[in-house]
Amino acid sequence: MMEIQPKIQPYADLLNRKLVESSCYKGARSRKFFTYLRNVKKSIDLFREANIPCSRIECGSAAIGMISVKMTVEVNGQEYTCNRPQIFRDPDRKIREEVYRKINERRLQDKKY
């Protein structure tokens, strides 16, 4: 993902542009292909060579998400993952604060120095 995807993106953009410029595109403007063709056009509008290194950042974000899903805290006898927002919805401020502190303590356990 980190090595191949950034190299494929410019070619994918070229293929998208060829599709939009082709006669097939003008003939395929039916409801059947509307969503797909709209996504292709948006991809063309959004593509920038300068953004290719950003895809590596996205991979890092995915890794962080996977780590946080594995982190759990116990609140009122139940175990929750740290990224579940419903544990912050308790109307009691003291419980919300306790949850906040437990999550931060749990994150510090996995911190690398």
Token look-up 């890794």 returns 63
Mean pLDDT for all residues in the chain: 78
Token look-up 């082709």 returns 22
| Beta strands 78-81; 72-75: pairing state | antiparallel
Whether the per-residue pLDDT at 71 is higher than 70: the answer is yes
pLDDT tier, 98 (very low <50, low <70, confident <90, very high otherwise): confident
- The beta-strand segments (E) located in the chain are 72-75, 78-81
Burial of 9 (0-12, 13-18, 19+ CB in 10 A): middle
Asked whether 80 and 73 are in contact (CB, 8 A), the reply is yes
Segment 55-59 mean pLDDT: 55
Segment 44-64 mean pLDDT: 69
User: How many Cβ atoms sit within 10 Å of the Cβ of residue 99?
Assistant: 19
Q: Where are the domains of the chain?
A: 4-63, 71-109
In this predicted model, which residue has the larger pLDDT, 94 or 78? Answer: 94
Segment 88-108 mean pLDDT: 84
Whether the per-residue pLDDT at 59 is higher than 70: the answer is no
Q: What's the CA gap between 69 and 82, in Å, rounded? A: 7
Lowest pLDDT segment from 35-39, 84-88, 93-97: 84-88
Q: What is the pLDDT, as a whole number, of residue 16?
A: 92
In this predicted model, which residue has the larger pLDDT, 98 or 3? Answer: 98
Q: What is the pLDDT, as a whole number, of residue 23?
A: 78
Q: What is the pLDDT, as a whole number, of residue 55?
A: 55
Q: What's the CA gap between 84 and 106, in Å, rounded? A: 14
